[in-house]
Chain A
Amino acid sequence: MSPDVVIETIVAILLLIGTTLALLSAIGILRLPDVYTRSHAGTKSATLGVLCTLLGTFIFFAGMENFVSVRLILGILFVFLTAPVAGHLMCRAAYRSGVPMSNRSVQDELKDVILSDKEEQR
């Protein structure tokens, strides 16, 4: 096997893994019952999927055309740092604005903490 074929195989496998993870996260967004579980599906696996895809792209350009793209490394780092932060901010805003949990949730510990904080502020 020539080196080009090896690189193409690695890149194809990485890209297929990444896009399959993106599809799994979309199915999670479609089927899970409330906003918190949906963000659990949408944040984690979509981030891992886009990381696999960008890593495959980086390996493709570094191996086939000898082009080490700094912008791609920066993009990988930036998406890896910011996607969980965005999910956390959105879940926090959803909880504070009173979006209800699903009927099947059994415990809500944050509610007591927020209530006692409000009583301390009075």
Chain B
Amino acid sequence: MFQLAMIISLILLSVSILVGLYRVMKGPSMPDRVIALDAIGINLIAMVAVISVTFRTSAYLEVILLMGIIAFIGTVAFSKYIERGIIIESKRDN
């Protein structure tokens, strides 16, 4: 029964990742794609958590924290690029 619930959760997460992938491919503007990629990253975090519960191993728990950090950094870099055209500003020399 417990394994069945885990399998259902994994299927729901896979379907939501596929729907996000459709939005990444079709999205009319660039911010649409970045928002869909951010949602895919968050769904992947949940998927790693469900898989570690399914296998009863605590070896994958670092991956959750790391993927959260990396998804946030990627989204911030993309949004700065879309807003200003550069990611790391050079110092003003006066």
A residues lining the B interface (CB < 8 Å): 8, 11-12, 15-16, 18-20, 22-23, 25-27, 29-30, 35, 38-39, 42-43, 46-47, 49-50, 53-54, 56-57, 60-61, 64-65, 67, 69, 71-72, 74-75, 78-79, 82-83, 85-87, 89-94, 96-97, 99
3 closest Cβ contacts across the A-B interface?
Answer: A26-B16, A94-B31, A12-B5
Q: List the B side residues contacting A20 at CB < 8 Å.
A: 12
Q: How many residues of B contact A (CB 8 A)?
A: 50
A86 to B8, CA, bound (A): 29
CB distance from B85 to the nearest CB of A (A): 10
Contact A25 B58 (CB under 8 A): no
B82 at the interface (CB under 8 A from A): yes
CB distance from A96 to the nearest CB of B (A): 5
